[in-house]
Amino acid sequence: MATAVQPWGMSRLALYTNTVELPYTRTELDTATQTTRYFDAVGQPVEMGGHGTSNSTSTSTSTGADGGGAQPPAPADSDSYPDTSSD
């Protein structure tokens, strides 16, 4: 009989070390503004602060620095043969 082996990925799992207790217990959608409203355990609104939606957590990536765009440069070499060549 074969012995069960633990999958490799299971040995890589760990608990989240920096979790945070959030100050709200309930959320609802404000139909007038289409934003989420947060409430504490006794039903009082909780201010979640200005977290914004345009804050970046990493360096932005840029494309086009290689001369791409509407007319990208020709490839330096090619792995294919023209249709007129025999294989």
* pLDDT at 16 (0 to 100): 78
Task: Note if the pTM is more than 0.75.
Answer: no
Whether residue 33 contacts residue 25, with contact meaning beta carbons closer than 8 Å, is answered with no
- Give the position of tokens 């090619």: 78
Splitting the chain (87 residues) into consecutive groups of 10 residues, what average pLDDT does each group show?
Answer: 81 80 89 92 86 58 57 65 61
Distance from CA of residue 47 to its chain's centroid?
A: 25
- Among 13, 83, 16, 23, residue whose Cα is nearest residue 49: 23
d(CA 39, CA 29) in angstroms, rounded, equals: 11
* pLDDT at 14 (0 to 100): 82
* pLDDT at 87 (0 to 100): 56
